Structure 1
Amino acid sequence: MPPTSLTVDPDSAEPADPPRPPRRRTRSATIGAPALVLITVMIAAISLGPVTVPWDHVLKAFTDNDIPYASLVRDVRAPRVLVVALVGAALAVVGAVMQAVFRNPLADPGITGVASGAAVGAVAVLVTGTSILGAATLPIGAFTGAAITTLVLLIVARVRRDTSPVTFVLVGVTIGSFCSALTAALVANAPEDSAVRSVMFWINGDLTARTWNDVALCAGPILLGTAVLLSRHRTLDTLLLGEGTATSMGIDVRRQQLVLLLTGAAVTGAAVAVAGVIGFVGLVVPHAVRLLLGSRHALLLPASMFTGAAFLVLADLGARLLFDPVILQTGTVAALIGSPVFGYLVLRNSGSHGGRS
């Protein structure tokens, strides 16, 4: 007998027996702590470098032109740090959402191939020099690639009815390899050698010389898309209970999954458009936050957002300073941290069934 459909707004109804945050922490205190950490590391990232700017001068530099190195703070370091924070927040939130939608602990934009799909769209724009939509051409190209790979993942999950970690990783690797081959073909046929070098740095997650134009390019889609995802926290809690339970509560599961994944694709596309491909943020950060706060998305999503931003800002700071004067790419440092964690998660979950976290 089919389940009775209830007239319930999925974003105004509490799921049955939702996971509870430990120790009855208040939401404001729980979210405020990572937000404070983010502000601290952002100020530190702006302050530190080959030329160190005193912390108290960082904020004054935006209002007082007589402060030493005011131009360095405003025009060089501040836009780079802000782009890094936006990208880190975006990837962490999308990773947490994908893990709930697919009920798989290994889902994130990098592992699933979504970031690689976004890279194909963006590289196609860069190599061909297409600018039919002006400044919006690059993020739209990245979104298109991310959306196509997202839909492929959704189709595979529905056809096979299998979201186990091993299957999910294999599908992600397949999609990522195919996208990498397309990217290589585009780069090999680039009309100018200078474009090839810039694209190769960009593919590995390079954030050198970010400007306020880059901030303007990504801020709108990331902030708007993230706000949409944050507002769906009750729906995500319910999806964790399984499609049957969610349907019985009146949720159109397919529609909600499509909205969540396409919104995540738009956010990922905007992040990839300005930062290139940066992996593991969406995998590592939500897991770390979930271990501390539990799986209730009202806390998990905003805490992951601030933690992801802080994590990538620290990774970018390490990329600039660890081997000075040699500068590493931000994506390289993130991968050095994230890849061991990913290996551990694969080994831990390889024997599990059902793909549920």
Structure 2
Amino acid sequence: MTDAARSLASTTAPSGHSNAARPARLVPSARSAWHWSWLAPLLLFAAVMAGTAIGETAIPLDTILKVLANHLGDATFAVDRIDAGIVWEYRLSRAILAACCGTGLALAGVVLQALLRNPLADPFLMGISAGASTGAVSVAILGIGAGTLTLSLGAFAGAGLAFGLVVVLAHTAGSGTGGGRATQAAGAIILAGIAGSQLFNALTALIIAKSASAEQARGIMFWLMGNLSGVRWDDVALALPAALAGLAICLWYRRALDAFTFGADSAASLGIPVRRVRGVLIAAMALVTAAMVSMVGAIGFVGLVIPHAMRFLVGSRHTRLVPASALAGAIFLIGADVLSRILVAGQVLPIGVVTALIGAPAFALILIRGARTR
């Protein structure tokens, strides 16, 4: 057994065994780690209510609760029709979709950073965002699909095509397990993702420059930077199962993710089927990311910053890191969406702009703190 594998075994040893391999300051006790768990539903509910209440026109909390009671139950509270329409048709669905996207992107970041052992890995490393952009542009500008494909379906198809290209390229470059080949496979995936991203970004730019009118180019560029303005309940019906499925898969493979943080070779020495587990996790996160990007466009820094921030708070064990990142990603993106609506009076900013303005300084602080504590 390798030294990394012994270290992993020590982190999962019962109380009284050696835990020297993990820094005590980063890994709270199991008991303290669950103290916050009962707060998670309350925090998420509060964030969704805040995302529904705050906007160009403030909506009182009691009005929101009455609207929910009217739609979800048999209540007949008297509510202004305009307020009811804002709450149910616009803001509530938008807040829930923001939570789903934040959860999905944060989980994808957790998985990719563990599997690839790269702290800069995020959901868009696989070229999914670039492929989704090309698919959306092809539908909106070139008319591919002859009117049968929506912008979201075109983006999803493009994301799937990009992911398939990255997988084929990485496999051709030499994927495998054991004997150092697993490390080579992770490097091949990263390089293939970079190549795929550059290719599809170039295709998107070419289509816009050659075929788009000024108005089309403006609309597409706004969507590419992240846009929740057109969200409806049909989108929530797709995003919510995708986010929950991604969370369930990550929790199911949480111990395998712990093993991967010590390297694929160490994971193989512990009996984990590296190729199969890696394939399942990467494919699942690619599909989750593709679903989110196809609805809201490219939103950066969520999958990059949130996992790092949560490691400082709950440690690196995925039993805690996965649910904490899911919750933090949901709350972060709801907050970013609220800011996108109120920062500039009478105008809604692309949500990707807000996440970048918050995420870039936050990631810089995480890097500086990490360098000082090493």
CA separation of 1:307 and 1:250: change in aligned 2, threshold 3 A: same
- 2:287 is aligned with 1:266: yes
Contact 2:128 2:160 in 1 (8 A): no
CA separation of 1:292 and 1:83: change in aligned 2, threshold 3 A: same
Q: Select the residue among 146, 166, 187 that pairs with 1:149.
A: 166
Contact 2:169 2:192 in 1 (8 A): no
Q: Select the residue among 156, 165, 179 that pairs with 1:139.
A: 156
Corresponding residue of 1:66: 78
Contact 1:157 1:163 in 2 (8 A): yes
- 2:101 is aligned with 1:95: no
Q: What is the distance in 2 between the residues matched to 1:138 and 1:246?
A: 35
Q: What is the distance in 2 between the residues matched to 1:105 and 1:32?
A: 30
Query: Any unmatched runs of 5+ in structure 1?
Result: 5-13, 351-356
Contact 1:120 1:179 in 2 (8 A): yes
Contact 1:115 1:146 in 2 (8 A): no
Contact 2:127 2:162 in 1 (8 A): no
- 2:299 is aligned with 1:306: no
Corresponding residue of 1:287: 308
Shift of residue 175, structure 1, vs aligned partner: 4.4
Mapping for residues 1-357 of structure 1, pairs under 5 Å = 16-18=9-11, 21-26=27-32, 28-62=34-68, 63=70, 64=76, 66-68=78-80, 69-110=83-124, 113-127=127-141, 128-130=143-145, 138-149=155-166, 152=169, 161=183, 175-190=196-211, 194-343=215-364
Please say which of residues 245-254 and 27-36 is displaced more in the overlay. Answer: 27-36
Counterpart amino acid of 1:53?
I
Q: What is the distance in 1 between the residues matched to 2:48 and 2:174?
A: 39
Shift of residue 30, structure 1, vs aligned partner: 3.2
Shift of residue 43, structure 1, vs aligned partner: 0.3
Q: What is the distance in 1 between the residues matched to 2:360 and 2:190?
A: 14
CA separation of 1:197 and 1:123: change in aligned 2, threshold 3 A: same
Identity of aligned residues (%): 35
Please say which of residues 328-337 and 223-232 is displaced more in the overlay. Answer: 223-232
Shift of residue 239, structure 1, vs aligned partner: 1.1
Counterpart amino acid of 1:92?
A
Q: What is the distance in 2 between the residues matched to 1:75 and 1:213?
A: 11
Post-superposition CA distance 1:183-220 (Å, at most 9, x none): 11232344666543322111111111311122223333
Q: What is the distance in 2 between the residues matched to 1:157 and 1:77?
A: 47
Counterpart amino acid of 2:292?
A
CA separation of 1:120 and 1:346: change in aligned 2, threshold 3 A: farther
CA separation of 1:65 and 1:192: change in aligned 2, threshold 3 A: farther
Name the Cα RMSD after superposition. Answer: 3.4
Counterpart amino acid of 1:277?
A
Shift of residue 29, structure 1, vs aligned partner: 2.9
Q: What is the distance in 2 between the residues matched to 1:160 and 1:241?
A: 12
Contact 1:79 1:211 in 2 (8 A): yes
Shift of residue 337, structure 1, vs aligned partner: 1.2
SS of the counterpart of 2:346?
Answer: coil
Post-superposition CA distance 1:157-183 (Å, at most 9, x none): 957946999x99887655433322111
Structure whose CA Rg is larger: 2
Q: What is the distance in 2 between the residues matched to 1:339 and 1:29?
A: 30
Post-superposition CA distance 1:90-145 (Å, at most 9, x none): 00000001000001111101355432233333433443342667785543433332
Counterpart amino acid of 1:75?
E
CA separation of 1:123 and 1:191: change in aligned 2, threshold 3 A: closer
CA separation of 1:102 and 1:306: change in aligned 2, threshold 3 A: same
Q: What is the distance in 2 between the residues matched to 1:341 and 1:38?
A: 22
Contact 2:255 2:319 in 1 (8 A): yes
CA separation of 1:121 and 1:89: change in aligned 2, threshold 3 A: same
SS of the counterpart of 2:230?
Answer: coil
Q: What is the distance in 1 between the residues matched to 2:49 and 2:195?
A: 40
With structure 1 as the length reference, what TM-score do the two structures score?
A: 0.82
SS of the counterpart of 2:57?
Answer: coil
Please say which of residues 213-222 and 202-211 is displaced more in the overlay. Answer: 213-222
CA separation of 1:133 and 1:124: change in aligned 2, threshold 3 A: closer
Aligned residues: 339
Q: What is the distance in 2 between the residues matched to 1:291 and 1:188?
A: 44
CA separation of 1:48 and 1:156: change in aligned 2, threshold 3 A: farther
Q: What is the distance in 2 between the residues matched to 1:314 and 1:112?
A: 26
CA separation of 1:217 and 1:144: change in aligned 2, threshold 3 A: farther
Query: Any unmatched runs of 5+ in structure 2?
Result: 12-21, 71-75, 176-180
